[in-house]
Structures are given as C-alpha cells and as structure tokens.
Amino acid sequence: MSNLRFVLASNNKGKLKEMREILAELGIEVMSQKEAGIASEPEEDGTTFEENAIIKARAAMEASGLPAIADDSGIAVDALNGEPGIYSARYGDCGSDEERVEYLLKNMENEEHRAAKFVSSIAVAFPNGDVLTTLGECHGTLTYAPIGENGFGYDPIFYMEQFGRTLAQVSAEEKNSVSHRGRALRAMKEKLTEYFKENTIC
C-alpha cells in the first residue's frame, strides 16, 4: 500500500495541505492536478455534494489514469431551507468571499433562527471503477456581522459554541479538529484502510 499516489481534483493549496497530512498516514502521496499534468474542470452538475465530489474525482482519475480524490463543500442555512448548499461558491453571483458573506447576511437580516452547518463530501475514484465517498458536517450559528481574520469563505460569520468564537477566530488545528472537511477526511482515511485490506491497488 505504500508509495500509492493519488491526484487531488483541485489546485487549492489549502486542500492539498490538509489531504497530504491525513493521507500520508496511509502512505499515500497526494499530487495536485498541476503536478499530475492535467487540467480537469468538469461541469459540476450534480444535485448533492456527494454527486459533485464523485464527478470531480472521476474526471481527474480518467484524465490522469491514477486514483483521484475530490471534495465538494458548502454551507447550508436552516432558515433558508438549506441554501446556499451546493451553490455556496457562486451564491448570489458574487465575485468574492466578502460579497458572498454580505449577501448571506442580507438574506438573514430579519431572521432570529440562525442555525447553519458546513457540509463536505469527499470522493475517491479508482481506475478499476470503484468509488468511495464520505460525508462530514460541522454545526454552528450565523453571526450578524463578520468577525475574525483566519480561514476563508463563510468562516467569519460561523460561530461555534464550543470555541465561543467564529471559525475565523480559531487556529487551523482547532478548525481541522471539528470541521466538516476534517471529519470527512478522517472518515475517508478509515474507509481507505478497510478498502486496502481487501483490494490491491498498484
């Protein structure tokens, strides 16, 4: 199982670092799409986080001929019936994280019920056609204004009771320990461990 190489269906440096750290524990080396010499950008036309993660992982696997790993994530707000959900990255057609945060706060202006969750689905696609998926969630409440400088995306308005702060006010280690992606990745590590007991991948 050692020296196995996966392609990450993304060039996002933050995701690459997180995936490298966790999958290195299984002897898996993770390469970015750039390092693998591919530029796969499939249409993410799934209706769930899981479907979109599978679309991205399959496309990178087919382009590279190597096992590929992908994640699809976003924020789902109770009072907005789960929106923006899978449309989190393009919410309100806004061009930046700051604008998306403002747009979400505007849509929540007169709303007192502020429960929300981050969701991440991770998919691994193997050249033999096998696909593994996991899901991770992280629950919190929306603030009325952005607070904090760390993290990215909707972190400055995502308050977590256990920290007494937003995700933009905690360290990367604290965030990884509770985050949707951290949970989904650790679950994938468990699934891969089981998978490798029954399958030989070269």
Name the residues that contact ligand IMP, by CB under 6 A: 71-75, 88-89, 97, 118, 151-155, 179
DSSP string for residues in 157-183: GEEETTTTEETTSS-HHHHHHH-HHHH
d(C-alpha 18, C-alpha 30), whole Å: 10
Closest CB to ligand IMP: residue number: 153
Q: Which is nearer to ligand IMP, 66 or 119 (CB)?
A: 119
Least distance to ligand IMP, CB of residue 37, Å: 22
Helix, strand, or coil here: 41? Answer: coil
d(C-alpha 133, C-alpha 48), whole Å: 12
> What's the token pair of residue 109?
């202006």
Least distance to ligand IMP, CB of residue 152, Å: 6
Least distance to ligand IMP, CB of residue 144, Å: 17
Least distance to ligand IMP, CB of residue 138, Å: 8
Q: Which is nearer to ligand IMP, 62 or 97 (CB)?
A: 97
Q: Which is nearer to ligand IMP, 143 or 179 (CB)?
A: 179
Task: Indicate the pairing of strand 28-31 with strand 4-8.
Answer: parallel
Angle at 19 between CA 67 and CA 26, to 5 degrees: 70
**Residue 191 DSSP one-character state:** H
Q: Which is nearer to ligand IMP, 92 or 127 (CB)?
A: 92
d(C-alpha 78, C-alpha 177), whole Å: 23
Q: Are 55 and 44 in contact (CB under 8 A)?
A: yes
Catalytic: which of 45, 71, 72, 93? Answer: 72
Question: Quick check: is 71 catalytic?
Answer: no
The residues that are catalytic are 72
